[in-house]
Amino acid sequence: MDNLLEEVHEDYSDANLHGQHWEKRSFTDCDFTEADLRELVTTGCTFTRCDFTRTDLGESKHQATAFRQCTFDRTVLTRSAFNSCSLMGSNFVDCVLRPVTFTEVDFTLASFVRAPLYDLKLGGQRFRETNLSEADLRNTDLSGADLMGARLLDAKLEGADLRGAKVDANGLRQAKLAGALIDVEQAVAFAAAYGLVVS
Per-residue model confidence (pLDDT) at position 1: 42
What is the separation, in whole angstroms, between the first and last Cα of the chain? Answer: 54
Q: Are 152 and 175 in contact (CB under 8 A)?
A: yes
- CA 84 from centre of chain: 12
Contacts of range 54-62, beta carbons closer than 8 Å, 24 or more positions apart: none
Quote the Cα angle for 134-110-47, to 5°. Answer: 145
* Cα gap 113→77, rounded to integer Å: 16
CATH numbers and ranges of domains, the chain: 1-106 (2.160.20.80), 112-193 (2.160.20.80)
Per-residue model confidence (pLDDT) at position 87: 98
Q: What is the per-residue pLDDT across 132-162, written as a single tens digit (0 to 9) for each?
A: 999 999 999 999 999 999 999 999 999 999 9
3-class DSSP state of 74: coil
Q: Are 103 and 123 in contact (CB under 8 A)?
A: no
Q: What is the per-residue pLDDT across 67-115, written as a single tens digit (0 to 9) for each?
A: 999 999 999 999 999 999 999 999 999 999 989 999 999 999 999 999 9
